[in-house]
Structure 1
Amino acid sequence: MAANAKYDLECKHLSKHFSEFTAVDKLNFSVEAGSFFSILGPSGCGKTTLLRMLAGFESPSEGEIQIHQKRVNELAPNKRPVNMVFQHLALFPNMNVSENIAYGLKRRGIKANERQHKIKDVLERVGLDGSQNKQITQLSGGQKQRIAIARSLVLEPRLLLLDEPLGALDLKLREKMKVELKHLQREFGTTFIYITHDQSEALVMSDKVAVMNNGRFEQVASPQELYYQPNTAFVAKFVGQTNAHSAVVCEQRQGVALLKTARGRHLIVATTIDQAEKSVVDVFVRPEAIGICEAGREVQADNQFDVEVEECLFDGASSTLVVKDTHHQDSYRVAPGASFSLQHIVPGSKLRIFWDAKQAICISQEVKGES
């Protein structure tokens, strides 16, 4: 992989082994300059080890890391053009805001007058102008987040590495900070590399997301592509809610396949997968893609059948129903949306669900992730 000015980060065949365990397995990827790139995956998938290698806290077992066209494998953390924001922020409680931000500037030998100018500028850009003399204990959780980011960005790193920085915040503050982090990334134009196990964080903030599993990237794509066009069953299940079924191909022609689930329900799906009869595939249908009407009503849809409500999970606009196919016993999670009232829906209610062939995602069980 040749160095390219378009990219702030390029990794080639990057691996990390711990005795018999491989935490990161031959990754090849690039991150465009000025973009927000997230690494999304469950605990233990290797994302923190990868971030520590980029920061210089871990040495690769194999492969190369290039930052802004320069190999950095042998460089110490403080010699790399990167900075890092941790989940617990690591702000100095015995220093005020200005002193916290000045810490890295002092270590670089920046003179006092220039330090004050940089501190004032960065505080204005993170929306905390005038807070220079506040103690860290006087700040809210969101303000502490912004100070931690300001302390990193004032050093003008090529990459800002963020290690699940919203994990310790309450739900409402996390939702607010998602918007603020994306705004700050655009404001500064710094390349953000963000790791998280929370798919909502990755989808909301990122230009590109790498979904990581067992040390490898299953797919690297835009949030929209990951959600609507997952390449693997792992991505389909991990990114967003979905209804998953294993099925056998009964017939396929002109981009449409007739499938049979393990319990005997026939489904019609639109697919470009060329599978022989009796091949096994995974079928995924997003909850919001499934329509609802009264039981027994005929609708114009490729897939439709009667169900019984098992649970009504009320959560305002995010409410869902868990329903069971009364004949074949397959369960589905359905997102009715604002047009369908749940006020009189109770367990045992009879409904009909339906969706078109093109609203299902069909993935061969042989499809593997990318490196």
Structure 2
Amino acid sequence: MADNANFDLECEHLSKRFADFTAVDSLNFAVEAGSFFSILGPSGCGKTTLLRMLAGFESPSEGEIRIHQKRVNELAPNKRPVNMVFQHLALFPNMNVAENIAYGLKRRGVKAAERSRKITDVLERVGLNGSQQKQISQLSGGQKQRIAIARSLVLEPRLLLLDEPLGALDLKLREKMKVELKHLQREFGTTFIYITHDQSEALVMSDKVAVMNHGKFEQLASPQELYYQPKSAFVAKFVGQTNSLKALVFEQKKDIALLKTARGRHLIVATPHAYSVNARVSVFIRPEAIGIAEAGQDVQADNQFDVQVEECLFDGASSTLVVRDIHHHDLYKVAPGADFSLQHVVVGSQLRIYWNAKQAICIAAEVASES
């Protein structure tokens, strides 16, 4: 990976081993300057270990970390052009807002008049101007979040590392803070590297997302590409809701494959890959890609069949139907569109579901493994 001024972070063959366990396994990636980059994955996948190596709290077993084209492997945490926001924020409860923000500036020897100017400026930019004398106990959860970010950004780091900072907030505040964090990142232009297990956080805020599993990146792409063009079964299942079916290819014509599911249902899918007859594949269909019609109604779609309603999960705009294929017994989750009312749908009633070949994702079995 060549040096490039457009990258604030470059990692080459980065690994971390603990005895016989490999937490991070030979990662190669770069993060563009001024971008919002998220590392998304389940607990134990290695994402926090990766963040700690970037911060300097852990030393790599192998590989190189470069920040703004400079190798930082041997630099102590306080010598790196990075700062970190932790899940529990680590604000000083015995200091007021201004004193919390001034802490790092004092350690750097910034004079009082300059500290005051910087504190006023950063508070204005995070929307909390005039709160200098407030105690931390007087702040709401969202305000504490912004103060923790202000305390980090006032030091003008090249990278801001965020370790699941929304994890301790309630649902409504998390939704609000997702928007605010994205706004703050754009306002300051600082490169954010964000660790999360929450797919919604990663998709909403990020320019690029790396999906991590067992110490490796399964896929690094834009949120849209991860959702609509996953490269592995793990990504297809971890990013967003999906219906998953195992199938065999029994015929392929150009970019259209004819499949037979494990329960005998014939499906038509579009795929750029050439499969041999009897090749094992996994098929993924997003719930919102599935249309609904009256049972027995013929619609213009590549795949259509009747189902029985098993559950109606009402949650306002994100309501879901769980339905079962009448003849082949596979279960599907369907997200009805705004033009379809759930008001008269009851458990046990029959409907027709349908989708077109291009709305399904087909992945070869050797790639489809989640291990």
TM-score bin, normalised by smaller chain: over 0.9
CA contact (8 A) 2:141 2:169 kept: yes
CA contact (8 A) 1:8 1:31 kept: yes
Query: What are the superposed Cα offsets for residues 168-213 of structure 1, whole Å, 9 maximum, x if unpaired?
Result: 0000000000000000000000000000000000000000000000
Q: What residue number does 2:117 align with?
A: 117
Counterpart Cα distance in 1 of 2:86 and 2:46: 17
Query: What are the superposed Cα offsets for residues 287-331 of structure 1, whole Å, 9 maximum, x if unpaired?
Result: 000000110000010000000011100000000000000100000
CA contact (8 A) 1:52 1:58 kept: yes
* Partner-residue secondary structure (3-state), 1:115: helix
Q: CA deviation at 1:3?
A: 1.6
1:256 equivalent in alignment to 2:256: yes
1:155-166 alignment, distance < 5 Å? 155-166=155-166
CA contact (8 A) 1:318 1:337 kept: no
Counterpart Cα distance in 1 of 2:303 and 2:251: 16
Q: What residue number does 1:23 align with?
A: 23
CA contact (8 A) 2:282 2:368 kept: no
Q: What is the RMSD computed on CA atoms of the aligned residues?
A: 0.8
Query: What are the superposed Cα offsets for residues 146-180 of structure 1, whole Å, 9 maximum, x if unpaired?
Result: 00000000000000000000000000000000000
Counterpart Cα distance in 1 of 2:298 and 2:191: 52
Gaps of 5+ in 2: none
* Partner-residue secondary structure (3-state), 1:366: helix
Aligned residue identity for 2:125: R
Aligned residue identity for 1:70: K
CA contact (8 A) 1:97 1:133 kept: yes
Q: CA deviation at 1:343?
A: 1.0
Q: What residue number does 2:309 align with?
A: 309
1:94 equivalent in alignment to 2:77: no
* Partner-residue secondary structure (3-state), 2:219: strand
Counterpart Cα distance in 2 of 1:116 and 1:333: 55
Counterpart Cα distance in 2 of 1:71 and 1:261: 51
1:215-294 alignment, distance < 5 Å? 215-294=215-294
Stretches (4+) displaced over 6 A: none
CA contact (8 A) 2:281 2:368 kept: no
* Partner-residue secondary structure (3-state), 1:168: coil
Counterpart Cα distance in 2 of 1:319 and 1:156: 44
The aligned length equals 369
CA contact (8 A) 1:270 1:357 kept: yes
Aligned residue identity for 1:147: I
Aligned residue identity for 1:271: T
Query: What are the superposed Cα offsets for residues 96-128 of structure 1, whole Å, 9 maximum, x if unpaired?
Result: 000000000000000000000000000000000
Aligned residue identity for 1:282: S
Q: What residue number does 2:298 align with?
A: 298
Q: CA deviation at 1:57?
A: 0.3
Q: CA deviation at 1:337?
A: 1.9
Q: What residue number does 1:66 align with?
A: 66
Aligned residue identity for 2:269: V
* Partner-residue secondary structure (3-state), 2:366: coil
Q: What residue number does 1:176 align with?
A: 176
Counterpart Cα distance in 1 of 2:195 and 2:138: 28
Q: CA deviation at 1:368?
A: 7.6
Counterpart Cα distance in 1 of 2:253 and 2:344: 42
1:323 equivalent in alignment to 2:307: no
Q: What residue number does 1:196 align with?
A: 196
* Partner-residue secondary structure (3-state), 2:12: strand
CA contact (8 A) 1:37 1:209 kept: yes
CA contact (8 A) 1:319 1:337 kept: no
* Partner-residue secondary structure (3-state), 2:278: coil
CA contact (8 A) 1:287 1:335 kept: yes
Counterpart Cα distance in 2 of 1:200 and 1:276: 37
Query: What are the superposed Cα offsets for residues 318-361 of structure 1, whole Å, 9 maximum, x if unpaired?
Result: 00000000100000000002111111111101000000001000
Aligned residue identity for 1:250: F
CA contact (8 A) 1:210 1:221 kept: yes
* Partner-residue secondary structure (3-state), 2:227: helix
Counterpart Cα distance in 2 of 1:215 and 1:193: 17
1:45-64 alignment, distance < 5 Å? 45-64=45-64
Aligned residue identity for 2:199: Q
Q: What residue number does 2:332 align with?
A: 332
Q: What residue number does 2:150 align with?
A: 150
Q: CA deviation at 1:367?
A: 2.6
Counterpart Cα distance in 2 of 1:166 and 1:98: 23
Gaps of 5+ in 1: none
Counterpart Cα distance in 2 of 1:185 and 1:368: 35
Q: Percent identity?
A: 83
* TM-score normalised per structure 2: 0.99
Counterpart Cα distance in 2 of 1:146 and 1:273: 47
Counterpart Cα distance in 1 of 2:362 and 2:106: 56
* Partner-residue secondary structure (3-state), 2:119: helix
* Partner-residue secondary structure (3-state), 1:343: coil
Counterpart Cα distance in 2 of 1:3 and 1:17: 26
* Partner-residue secondary structure (3-state), 1:367: helix
